[in-house]
Amino acid sequence: MTAENIGDAAAAAGPTPGGDAAGLTEAEAAQRLARYGENGLIEHRIGALGRLARFFWGPIPWMIEVAAALSAALRHWDDLAIILTMLFINAGVGFWQETKADTAIALLKQRLALKARVRRDGVWKDIAARLVVPGDLVHIKLGNVVPADVKLTEGDYLSVDQSALTGESLPVDKKAGDEAYSGSIARQGEMSGVVTATGMNTYFGKTAQLVEQAQTVSHFQQAVLKIGNFLIFVTIGLVVIIGLVALWRHDPLIETLQFALILTVASIPVALPAVLSVTMAVGAERLARRKAVVSRLVAIEEMAGMDVLCTDKTGTLTRNELTLGEPEPAPGFARDELIVAAALASRRDAPDPIDRAILAGLSSAGALDGFRVTTFEPFDPVAKRAEAAIETDGRTFRVAKGAPQAIVALCAPDSAERAAIEAAVDREAARGFRTLGVARTDEAGSWRFLGLLPLYDPPREDSAETIATARAMGVDVKMATGDHEAIAKEIAGELRLGQNIVVADAVFGPGAGGDVLPRILAADGFARVFPEHKFRIVRALQEAGHIVGMTGDGVNDAPALKQADVGIAVSGATDAARAAADLVLTAPGLSVIAAAIEEARRIFERMNSYAIYRISETTRLLLFMTASILVFNFYPVTAVMVVLLALLNDLPIMMIAYDNAPFAARPVRWDMRRVLTIASTLGAFGVASSFGVFWLARNYFGLPEPVVQSIVFLKLLVAGHMTIYLTRNRGPVWERPWPSLKLIIPCELTQLLGTCAAVYGWFMAPIGWTYALMVWGYALAAFLVGSLVKMGAYRLLDARAARREVRPGPAASPAAP
């Protein structure tokens, strides 16, 4: 809230509670509306065309666009059509995914109150909540959504549910002088108050601002960018070398431009974004069958590398429903007697959360049979208790339940009993339990203290097991809750999460000091957390190099969910939380997260193997073509052959999304040094084996140049498809898990199609079956040698990593293709 807001609100507060406050006049309200704007969330959105244009800007789109321009200049219309089609497909997929996920602010808006009751010109009236201004006097009653941040001034009592905003598991009691936040819901009582902040200045609005500020670039996007940059630099370097040689040789300009086109087309990983997106989309479908719906595809790759999981408590680790703890009956009274008396003092037709927990604790459905409630007095915020008159078997008595101090005052026990009750209340409070006192009148009409009923929000049955499983998978789990640290410690103890629970202000408060990271890393959980705290915890961990997951269900979780690398909205989450999240769980609890992590790591292995394959194949083709022209002044393949290779290689390789893949025991990340090393090694080996075929065809058999080009084309195609079998694991090609038939069949069918094209001369000179079978035999032999080369490269990398000094850092292992 701005200083001007505070000043205006204070000026308009009027008399003290109980006075004759008239609120604002309509003229004053109009002036303030013009000054502060409407009471709504402001969003800064980029238009559809602007968002679409971003997908045509970047290293890989630039490469595709340059190739398209060269194709048009040389009038290679078939090439141009294929290149533009892939460009628009990649842009369309990305645009659709972004549009689908970009709804967090809109759903936050829907939670705001639509109407508000305000006093204008001395008259109470209902107006649209968007027209409320600072200084307005508003009235809030049962069921109302608080329209703005309000300082309560009149009325005895108000209980508001602000769990979706602050994460507190229980309704909060408010009195005159307290603040009620915009977006919270009145559950009991009614009060009036002065608006202190509206729109983006409210607590709710600041949460929305955090959602807008939350920006992350996924490690997947960074990896694709690095791959694109690598191929761009290689292509530019080779084109420059060829251009200089062409000038020195006085080659025709048209031939040089044609080679630049061929080289550019060959270097573009046209299908790279599409293949990786399809791989993640298929993985998303599998996750959906496991009750986890993916709203942002790149989050799948992030989950594979996630090494810290920050989880909300209320509704995530716990059930978000009050439950009766172990009753503590007073001496001389039985457990069932205590619960029955409390149930008789509860409203059975429309129970609130407390009444519902007590009624659920009855030993049987017929426990209240035979009792008739003659009068019922609901909870009185002044007396802080509820009472009922009961009739049974011709006799009558009264029961009461409420705050322990109110029940003790009603019963007036002796000092020893009073001390014992106070000690029991303190003991339960230290465990984070809320306690109720229960009393009943005896035959003489005197009140007798029956005992205490502790209430708490219990953990889900599967939470402890899920936390243990996640930690075994290398994921550190930290709890973040708006509740008191006593409640947090109790739940953390039951879940075996650890007892180092830190109050958020001790980390981020004014006297906390500068370096917050060591305290965040050492903590098992955080208590009394507000949305900005969760946001800052996630960002601090990210800046330290961790891949962070965040679970939550409320509006208060939305900023952290969006900022996290993997935002996870649990079952029953609010619309705003689901919109900000990357993964939405449709089954209760967190058990599905362990299954999602396992599936994500399998998906990552598929993407990693394809990245190695694509780089190695592109490197092989670029270096082989360049060296052929520099050394032999010979074009080994034609432009049409390059386009055919791109189609026959990439389209079936999309089926890698369905391949069997290993599951890493620890978090995995893109290790671009390892990826480029393995890919370059396989690429260099492929160049050598390609020159072997070239030499045999041209020098040993003395075949014409067009036939040599067809033989080289077939070798590049067959060996290229075999490379995918090399890159899918670290060991020999027969190592489990074996390739899926969904990968094998398309690969072999396209190899057969390419073989027929070379044999019968489709778009090239025919070579016949004899030479085709010789090429196949050569490629199979090279394939076995390539497997040995790959394993040797991995051994060298592992040995080098073992010699390297171990440095502390995020608990993530290098990606194991």
pLDDT in tens, 500-541: 999 888 888 776 666 788 889 999 999 888 878 888 899 899
Helix 219-249 / helix 591-632 crossing angle, nearest 10 deg: 0
Among 372-386, 572-586, 605-619, 763-777, the range of highest mean pLDDT:
763-777
Task: Inform me whether the pLDDT recorded for 743 exceeds 60.
Answer: yes
Average pLDDT over all residues of the chain: 80
Catalytic one of 79, 149, 307, 312:
312
pLDDT (0 to 100) of residue 292 = 80
Kindly tell me the burial class for residue 753, based on how many C-beta atoms sit within 10 Å of its own C-beta (0-12, 13-18, 19 or more).
Answer: middle
Q: Which residues contact 706 (CB under 8 A, 6 or more apart)?
A: 764, 765
Contact 62, 231 (CB under 8 A): no
pLDDT > 90: what percent of the chain? 24
Residue 499 token pair: 């007892």
Q: What is the mean pLDDT of residues 770-790?
A: 94
pLDDT (0 to 100) of residue 500 = 92
pLDDT (0 to 100) of residue 593 = 84
- pTM confidence score: 0.67
pLDDT (0 to 100) of residue 164 = 55
CA distance linking residue 551 with residue 314, whole number of Å:
11
pLDDT tens-digit series, residues 160-175? 877 656 555 557 778 8
pLDDT (0 to 100) of residue 45 = 55
Task: Inform me whether the pLDDT recorded for 805 exceeds 70.
Answer: no
Q: What is the mean pLDDT of residues 478-490?
A: 86
pLDDT tens-digit series, residues 215-249? 555 566 677 767 777 777 777 788 788 788 878 88
Task: Inform me whether the pLDDT recorded for 153 exceeds 80.
Answer: yes
- Structure-model confidence comparison of residues 447 and 383, the more confident one: 447
- Structure-model confidence comparison of residues 682 and 482, the more confident one: 682
pLDDT tens-digit series, residues 243-302? 888 788 887 776 677 667 667 666 666 666 666 667 777 777 777 777 788 877 777 778
The residue written with tokens 């650890």 in the block is: 498
CA distance linking residue 508 with residue 521, whole number of Å:
14
Task: Inform me whether the pLDDT recorded for 630 exceeds 50.
Answer: yes
pLDDT tens-digit series, residues 651-705? 677 777 778 888 788 898 888 888 889 999 999 999 999 999 999 999 899 999 9
Q: What is the mean pLDDT of residues 623-647?
A: 81
Q: What is the mean pLDDT of residues 421-445?
A: 88
pLDDT (0 to 100) of residue 390 = 93
pLDDT (0 to 100) of residue 606 = 83
Among 285-289, 582-586, 642-646, the range of highest mean pLDDT:
582-586
Using 50, 70 and 90 to split pLDDT, how confident is the model at 632?
A: confident
- Structure-model confidence comparison of residues 445 and 4, the more confident one: 445
pLDDT > 70: what percent of the chain? 79
The enclosing H or E element of 305 equals helix 298-305
Q: Is 393 a catalytic residue?
A: no
Q: What is the mean pLDDT of residues 528-556?
A: 85
Using 50, 70 and 90 to split pLDDT, how confident is the model at 438?
A: very high
Q: Which residues contact 183 (CB under 8 A, 6 or more apart)?
A: 111, 112, 113, 145, 146, 162, 164, 165, 202, 203, 204, 555
pLDDT (0 to 100) of residue 113 = 44
Task: Inform me whether the pLDDT recorded for 112 exceeds 60.
Answer: no
Q: Rounded to 5 degrees, what angle do the CA atoms 303, 309, 314 make?
A: 125
Q: Which letter does DSSP use for residue 317 in this model?
A: I
Residue 602: closest CA among 676, 677, 656, 652: 656
pLDDT tens-digit series, residues 86-111? 667 666 655 664 554 344 334 434 44
Count Cβ neighbours within 10 Å for each residue of 506-518 and write b for 16 or more, e otherwise. Answer: bbbeeeeeeeeee
Contact 185, 147 (CB under 8 A): no
Using 50, 70 and 90 to split pLDDT, how confident is the model at 12?
A: very low
Task: Inform me whether the pLDDT recorded for 315 exceeds 70.
Answer: yes
Strands 395-402 and 385-392: antiparallel
Helix 741-760 / helix 705-727 crossing angle, nearest 10 deg: 170
pLDDT tens-digit series, residues 337-382? 999 999 999 988 767 788 888 998 998 888 888 899 999 888 776 7
- Structure-model confidence comparison of residues 688 and 206, the more confident one: 688
Among 198-202, 689-693, 811-815, the range of highest mean pLDDT:
689-693
